[in-house]
Amino acid sequence: MSQATATAAGPTTRRAAGRRKKKPGSHGAAGFLFTLPFMVLFLGLFIAPLLYALYLSLFREQLVGGNQFVGLDNYIDGLQDREFTRGIGRVALFLLIQVPIMLLLALVFAMILDSGKVWFPKLFRVGIFVPYAVPTVIAALMWGFLYGRDFGPFADLADAINVPPPNFLSESTMLFSIANVSTWTYTGYNMIILYAALRSIPTELYEAAAVDGAGAVRTALHVKLPLLRPALLLCAIFSVIGSFQLFAEPQIFATIAPEVIGKGYTPNLYVYNLAFSDQRLNYAAALSFLLGVVVFIVSYFVMYASRKQEER
Protein backbone atom coordinates (compact mmCIF):
# COMPACT_ATOMS: atom_id res chain seq x y z
CA MET A 1 0.00 0.00 0.00
CA SER A 2 2.76 2.41 0.86
CA GLN A 3 3.94 2.12 -2.72
CA ALA A 4 0.59 3.29 -4.03
CA THR A 5 0.65 6.32 -1.85
CA ALA A 6 4.12 7.10 -2.95
CA THR A 7 3.37 6.50 -6.61
CA ALA A 8 0.13 8.37 -6.74
CA ALA A 9 1.03 11.23 -4.52
CA GLY A 10 4.75 11.31 -5.11
CA PRO A 11 5.17 14.14 -7.56
CA THR A 12 2.78 16.38 -5.69
CA THR A 13 4.51 15.88 -2.42
CA ARG A 14 7.89 16.38 -3.91
CA ARG A 15 6.86 19.56 -5.62
CA ALA A 16 5.09 20.76 -2.53
CA ALA A 17 8.11 20.12 -0.38
CA GLY A 18 10.24 22.14 -2.69
CA ARG A 19 7.92 25.05 -2.62
CA ARG A 20 7.08 25.54 0.98
CA LYS A 21 8.45 24.73 4.34
CA LYS A 22 6.52 22.49 6.63
CA LYS A 23 6.88 22.80 10.33
CA PRO A 24 6.88 19.30 11.68
CA GLY A 25 5.26 18.90 15.06
CA SER A 26 3.44 22.19 15.08
CA HIS A 27 -0.24 22.17 15.99
CA GLY A 28 -0.21 18.38 15.92
CA ALA A 29 -3.10 18.05 18.32
CA ALA A 30 -5.33 20.15 16.09
CA GLY A 31 -4.37 18.01 13.11
CA PHE A 32 -5.34 14.90 14.97
CA LEU A 33 -8.64 16.47 15.98
CA PHE A 34 -9.47 17.14 12.33
CA THR A 35 -9.04 13.49 11.54
CA LEU A 36 -10.91 12.41 14.64
CA PRO A 37 -14.49 12.25 13.26
CA PHE A 38 -13.27 10.03 10.50
CA MET A 39 -11.18 7.92 12.81
CA VAL A 40 -14.10 7.31 15.15
CA LEU A 41 -16.30 6.18 12.29
CA PHE A 42 -13.46 4.17 10.85
CA LEU A 43 -12.93 2.36 14.10
CA GLY A 44 -16.61 1.75 14.64
CA LEU A 45 -17.59 0.82 11.13
CA PHE A 46 -14.47 -0.73 9.70
CA ILE A 47 -12.16 -2.08 12.35
CA ALA A 48 -14.90 -3.21 14.73
CA PRO A 49 -16.87 -5.23 12.14
CA LEU A 50 -13.63 -6.82 10.99
CA LEU A 51 -12.75 -7.87 14.51
CA TYR A 52 -16.28 -9.03 15.08
CA ALA A 53 -16.18 -11.08 11.90
CA LEU A 54 -12.93 -12.56 13.06
CA TYR A 55 -14.50 -13.50 16.36
CA LEU A 56 -17.62 -14.96 14.78
CA SER A 57 -15.61 -16.92 12.29
CA LEU A 58 -14.14 -18.99 15.12
CA PHE A 59 -17.55 -20.36 16.13
CA ARG A 60 -20.22 -22.53 14.63
CA GLU A 61 -23.87 -22.11 15.44
CA GLN A 62 -26.28 -24.90 14.52
CA LEU A 63 -30.05 -24.96 14.17
CA VAL A 64 -30.02 -27.75 16.70
CA GLY A 65 -27.31 -27.90 19.34
CA GLY A 66 -26.32 -24.26 19.72
CA ASN A 67 -23.03 -22.43 19.46
CA GLN A 68 -19.55 -23.82 19.87
CA PHE A 69 -15.96 -22.73 19.44
CA VAL A 70 -14.40 -24.44 16.45
CA GLY A 71 -11.10 -22.63 16.05
CA LEU A 72 -9.99 -22.36 12.46
CA ASP A 73 -12.36 -25.03 11.17
CA ASN A 74 -14.42 -22.54 9.19
CA TYR A 75 -11.30 -21.31 7.43
CA ILE A 76 -10.12 -24.81 6.67
CA ASP A 77 -13.57 -25.65 5.31
CA GLY A 78 -13.52 -22.44 3.27
CA LEU A 79 -10.23 -23.23 1.60
CA GLN A 80 -11.55 -26.65 0.65
CA ASP A 81 -14.99 -25.41 -0.41
CA ARG A 82 -15.02 -25.88 -4.16
CA GLU A 83 -18.03 -23.62 -4.58
CA PHE A 84 -16.04 -20.79 -2.96
CA THR A 85 -12.72 -21.39 -4.69
CA ARG A 86 -14.43 -21.74 -8.04
CA GLY A 87 -16.25 -18.47 -7.41
CA ILE A 88 -12.90 -16.81 -6.76
CA GLY A 89 -11.48 -18.38 -9.90
CA ARG A 90 -14.42 -17.11 -11.91
CA VAL A 91 -13.99 -13.60 -10.57
CA ALA A 92 -10.26 -13.77 -11.29
CA LEU A 93 -11.01 -14.70 -14.89
CA PHE A 94 -13.54 -11.89 -15.07
CA LEU A 95 -10.93 -9.51 -13.77
CA LEU A 96 -8.33 -10.55 -16.30
CA ILE A 97 -10.75 -10.03 -19.17
CA GLN A 98 -12.93 -7.14 -18.12
CA VAL A 99 -10.55 -4.77 -16.37
CA PRO A 100 -8.03 -4.42 -19.23
CA ILE A 101 -10.78 -3.97 -21.82
CA MET A 102 -12.57 -1.36 -19.76
CA LEU A 103 -9.43 0.57 -18.89
CA LEU A 104 -8.22 0.49 -22.47
CA LEU A 105 -11.55 1.87 -23.69
CA ALA A 106 -11.58 4.51 -20.97
CA LEU A 107 -8.03 5.46 -21.86
CA VAL A 108 -8.73 5.76 -25.57
CA PHE A 109 -11.84 7.85 -24.97
CA ALA A 110 -10.01 10.11 -22.56
CA MET A 111 -7.13 10.54 -25.01
CA ILE A 112 -9.45 11.34 -27.89
CA LEU A 113 -11.38 13.86 -25.83
CA ASP A 114 -8.16 15.40 -24.60
CA SER A 115 -6.67 15.63 -28.08
CA GLY A 116 -9.41 18.11 -29.00
CA LYS A 117 -9.75 16.40 -32.37
CA VAL A 118 -13.35 15.39 -32.05
CA TRP A 119 -16.63 17.14 -32.69
CA PHE A 120 -19.22 17.40 -29.90
CA PRO A 121 -16.74 16.54 -27.12
CA LYS A 122 -19.25 17.48 -24.43
CA LEU A 123 -21.85 15.14 -25.82
CA PHE A 124 -19.42 12.23 -25.78
CA ARG A 125 -18.13 13.06 -22.34
CA VAL A 126 -21.60 13.12 -20.81
CA GLY A 127 -22.96 10.29 -22.94
CA ILE A 128 -20.24 7.85 -21.99
CA PHE A 129 -20.26 8.89 -18.35
CA VAL A 130 -24.02 8.72 -17.93
CA PRO A 131 -24.31 4.94 -17.42
CA TYR A 132 -22.44 5.47 -14.15
CA ALA A 133 -25.64 7.16 -12.95
CA VAL A 134 -27.53 3.91 -13.41
CA PRO A 135 -27.55 1.72 -10.31
CA THR A 136 -26.03 -1.69 -11.00
CA VAL A 137 -29.29 -3.35 -10.11
CA ILE A 138 -31.11 -1.40 -12.78
CA ALA A 139 -28.29 -1.85 -15.27
CA ALA A 140 -28.53 -5.60 -14.74
CA LEU A 141 -32.31 -5.53 -15.14
CA MET A 142 -32.01 -3.62 -18.40
CA TRP A 143 -29.33 -5.79 -19.87
CA GLY A 144 -31.25 -8.84 -18.72
CA PHE A 145 -34.16 -7.79 -20.89
CA LEU A 146 -31.84 -6.98 -23.79
CA TYR A 147 -30.10 -10.35 -23.52
CA GLY A 148 -33.43 -12.20 -23.76
CA ARG A 149 -32.74 -15.54 -25.41
CA ASP A 150 -35.91 -15.81 -27.45
CA PHE A 151 -37.46 -12.40 -27.61
CA GLY A 152 -34.84 -9.85 -26.61
CA PRO A 153 -34.23 -7.19 -29.25
CA PHE A 154 -31.01 -8.87 -30.40
CA ALA A 155 -32.82 -12.17 -30.74
CA ASP A 156 -35.58 -10.43 -32.68
CA LEU A 157 -33.04 -8.82 -35.00
CA ALA A 158 -31.27 -12.12 -35.55
CA ASP A 159 -34.62 -13.69 -36.30
CA ALA A 160 -35.41 -11.00 -38.84
CA ILE A 161 -32.24 -11.71 -40.81
CA ASN A 162 -32.58 -15.45 -40.31
CA VAL A 163 -29.51 -16.20 -38.28
CA PRO A 164 -29.63 -18.18 -35.05
CA PRO A 165 -30.13 -15.82 -32.08
CA PRO A 166 -27.06 -15.28 -29.91
CA ASN A 167 -27.23 -16.89 -26.50
CA PHE A 168 -25.83 -14.36 -24.06
CA LEU A 169 -26.81 -16.33 -21.02
CA SER A 170 -25.28 -19.77 -21.52
CA GLU A 171 -22.65 -21.28 -19.32
CA SER A 172 -19.87 -20.22 -21.67
CA THR A 173 -21.06 -16.68 -22.34
CA MET A 174 -22.50 -15.57 -19.00
CA LEU A 175 -19.25 -14.22 -17.61
CA PHE A 176 -18.78 -12.06 -20.69
CA SER A 177 -22.34 -10.83 -20.49
CA ILE A 178 -21.77 -9.77 -16.89
CA ALA A 179 -18.45 -8.22 -17.89
CA ASN A 180 -20.32 -6.22 -20.49
CA VAL A 181 -22.67 -4.79 -17.87
CA SER A 182 -19.70 -3.72 -15.74
CA THR A 183 -17.90 -2.27 -18.71
CA TRP A 184 -21.01 -0.39 -19.73
CA THR A 185 -21.47 1.04 -16.25
CA TYR A 186 -17.92 1.94 -15.29
CA THR A 187 -16.04 2.86 -18.48
CA GLY A 188 -17.28 6.44 -18.24
CA TYR A 189 -16.28 6.69 -14.61
CA ASN A 190 -12.75 5.62 -15.43
CA MET A 191 -12.70 7.84 -18.47
CA ILE A 192 -13.48 10.87 -16.30
CA ILE A 193 -10.67 10.06 -13.88
CA LEU A 194 -8.18 9.59 -16.72
CA TYR A 195 -9.44 12.63 -18.57
CA ALA A 196 -9.02 14.72 -15.44
CA ALA A 197 -5.50 13.42 -15.10
CA LEU A 198 -4.70 14.29 -18.71
CA ARG A 199 -5.99 17.78 -18.23
CA SER A 200 -3.57 18.40 -15.43
CA ILE A 201 -0.50 17.44 -17.43
CA PRO A 202 1.48 20.65 -17.85
CA THR A 203 1.09 22.08 -21.35
CA GLU A 204 4.83 22.64 -21.73
CA LEU A 205 5.34 18.94 -22.10
CA TYR A 206 3.05 18.87 -25.12
CA GLU A 207 4.71 21.84 -26.66
CA ALA A 208 8.06 20.19 -26.32
CA ALA A 209 6.75 17.14 -28.11
CA ALA A 210 5.16 19.26 -30.81
CA VAL A 211 8.46 21.00 -31.42
CA ASP A 212 10.04 17.60 -31.86
CA GLY A 213 7.46 16.98 -34.56
CA ALA A 214 5.65 14.20 -32.76
CA GLY A 215 2.17 13.35 -34.06
CA ALA A 216 -0.89 13.12 -31.89
CA VAL A 217 -0.63 9.36 -31.51
CA ARG A 218 3.04 9.46 -30.66
CA THR A 219 2.48 12.23 -28.16
CA ALA A 220 -0.27 10.15 -26.61
CA LEU A 221 1.88 7.05 -26.31
CA HIS A 222 5.20 8.56 -25.35
CA VAL A 223 4.31 11.69 -23.45
CA LYS A 224 0.85 11.26 -22.02
CA LEU A 225 0.71 7.58 -21.22
CA PRO A 226 3.68 7.46 -18.86
CA LEU A 227 2.33 10.45 -17.00
CA LEU A 228 -1.03 8.73 -16.61
CA ARG A 229 0.41 5.79 -14.76
CA PRO A 230 -0.70 6.82 -11.26
CA ALA A 231 -4.23 7.52 -12.43
CA LEU A 232 -4.36 4.24 -14.31
CA LEU A 233 -3.14 2.42 -11.25
CA LEU A 234 -5.88 4.03 -9.20
CA CYS A 235 -8.48 2.93 -11.75
CA ALA A 236 -7.03 -0.56 -11.87
CA ILE A 237 -7.14 -0.99 -8.11
CA PHE A 238 -10.72 0.18 -7.94
CA SER A 239 -11.68 -2.13 -10.76
CA VAL A 240 -10.02 -5.08 -9.05
CA ILE A 241 -11.93 -4.38 -5.87
CA GLY A 242 -15.12 -3.86 -7.87
CA SER A 243 -14.69 -7.24 -9.53
CA PHE A 244 -14.53 -9.02 -6.22
CA GLN A 245 -17.68 -7.24 -5.16
CA LEU A 246 -19.76 -8.57 -8.06
CA PHE A 247 -23.15 -9.22 -6.62
CA ALA A 248 -26.12 -7.40 -8.14
CA GLU A 249 -25.52 -8.61 -11.70
CA PRO A 250 -25.31 -12.33 -10.90
CA GLN A 251 -28.15 -12.01 -8.41
CA ILE A 252 -30.46 -10.45 -11.00
CA PHE A 253 -29.32 -12.76 -13.79
CA ALA A 254 -30.00 -15.75 -11.57
CA THR A 255 -33.71 -15.24 -12.18
CA ILE A 256 -33.12 -15.37 -15.94
CA ALA A 257 -30.58 -18.16 -16.06
CA PRO A 258 -30.60 -20.14 -12.82
CA GLU A 259 -29.08 -23.06 -14.69
CA VAL A 260 -25.88 -21.07 -15.06
CA ILE A 261 -25.80 -18.91 -11.95
CA GLY A 262 -25.87 -21.03 -8.85
CA LYS A 263 -25.59 -20.06 -5.23
CA GLY A 264 -21.87 -19.49 -5.48
CA TYR A 265 -21.37 -17.88 -8.87
CA THR A 266 -19.35 -15.07 -7.30
CA PRO A 267 -17.79 -15.22 -3.83
CA ASN A 268 -19.88 -12.32 -2.69
CA LEU A 269 -23.12 -13.95 -3.79
CA TYR A 270 -22.02 -17.10 -2.06
CA VAL A 271 -21.31 -15.35 1.21
CA TYR A 272 -24.67 -13.65 1.02
CA ASN A 273 -26.52 -16.90 0.36
CA LEU A 274 -24.66 -18.69 3.12
CA ALA A 275 -25.51 -16.01 5.62
CA PHE A 276 -29.12 -15.40 4.73
CA SER A 277 -30.42 -18.46 2.97
CA ASP A 278 -28.43 -21.28 4.59
CA GLN A 279 -28.13 -19.52 7.95
CA ARG A 280 -24.46 -20.30 8.24
CA LEU A 281 -23.42 -16.90 9.58
CA ASN A 282 -20.16 -18.03 11.12
CA TYR A 283 -19.00 -19.67 7.97
CA ALA A 284 -20.08 -16.60 5.99
CA ALA A 285 -17.99 -14.43 8.30
CA ALA A 286 -14.96 -16.65 7.74
CA LEU A 287 -15.40 -16.49 3.98
CA SER A 288 -15.82 -12.69 4.12
CA PHE A 289 -12.47 -12.61 5.81
CA LEU A 290 -10.82 -14.91 3.33
CA LEU A 291 -12.28 -12.86 0.51
CA GLY A 292 -10.86 -9.67 2.00
CA VAL A 293 -7.44 -11.30 2.21
CA VAL A 294 -7.60 -12.43 -1.41
CA VAL A 295 -8.54 -8.94 -2.60
CA PHE A 296 -5.74 -7.47 -0.55
CA ILE A 297 -3.21 -9.82 -2.09
CA VAL A 298 -4.42 -9.24 -5.64
CA SER A 299 -4.48 -5.45 -5.23
CA TYR A 300 -1.03 -5.56 -3.74
CA PHE A 301 0.14 -7.64 -6.64
CA VAL A 302 -1.30 -5.17 -9.14
CA MET A 303 0.55 -2.36 -7.45
CA TYR A 304 3.73 -4.31 -7.16
CA ALA A 305 3.63 -5.20 -10.85
CA SER A 306 2.97 -1.63 -11.80
CA ARG A 307 5.87 -0.42 -9.70
CA LYS A 308 8.19 -3.02 -11.15
CA GLN A 309 7.28 -1.81 -14.60
CA GLU A 310 7.92 1.74 -13.69
CA GLU A 311 11.36 0.88 -12.44
CA ARG A 312 12.23 -0.82 -15.67
Residues in contact with other proteins, shown as a per-residue x/- string from 71 to 100 under the rule CB under 8 A: ------------------------------
Decide: is 252 part of the binding site for other proteins (CB under 8 A). Answer: yes
Residue 164, number of CB atoms within 10 A of its CB: 8
What is the per-residue burial (b if ≥16 Cβ within 10 Å, else e) of 171-201? eebbbebbbbbbbbbbbbbbbbbbbebbeee
Q: Are 158 and 152 contacting, i.e. CB atoms less than 8 angstroms apart?
A: no
* Least distance CB 308 / other proteins (angstroms): 19
With CB under 8 A as the contact rule, the residue among 96, 104, 133, 221 that binds other proteins is 133
* Least distance CB 99 / other proteins (angstroms): 15
Q: In the 8-state DSSP scheme, what is residue 132?
A: G
* DSSP alpha helix (H) spans, 130-224: 136-147, 153-160, 174-199, 203-211, 216-218
Decide: is 166 part of the binding site for other proteins (CB under 8 A). Answer: no
With CB under 8 A as the contact rule, the residue among 78, 87, 188, 250 that binds other proteins is 188
Nearer to other proteins, 32 or 96 (CB): 32
Nearer to other proteins, 64 or 161 (CB): 64
Decide: is 153 part of the binding site for other proteins (CB under 8 A). Answer: yes
Report d(CA 275, CA 287) in Å as an integer.
10
What is the per-residue burial (b if ≥16 Cβ within 10 Å, else e) of 240-273? bebbbebbbbbbbbbebbeebbeebbbbbbbbbb
User: Quick one: which segment of 93-101, 142-150, 304-312 binds other proteins (CB under 8 A)?
Assistant: 142-150
Q: Which class for 229: exposed (0-12), middle (13-18), buried (19 or more C-beta within 10 A)?
A: middle
Decide: is 280 part of the binding site for other proteins (CB under 8 A). Answer: yes
With CB under 8 A as the contact rule, the residue among 103, 107, 220, 257 that binds other proteins is 257
With CB under 8 A as the contact rule, the residue among 86, 101, 165, 206 that binds other proteins is 206
Decide: is 127 part of the binding site for other proteins (CB under 8 A). Answer: yes
* Least distance CB 148 / other proteins (angstroms): 5
Decide: is 69 part of the binding site for other proteins (CB under 8 A). Answer: no
Q: Are 287 and 84 contacting, i.e. CB atoms less than 8 angstroms apart?
A: yes
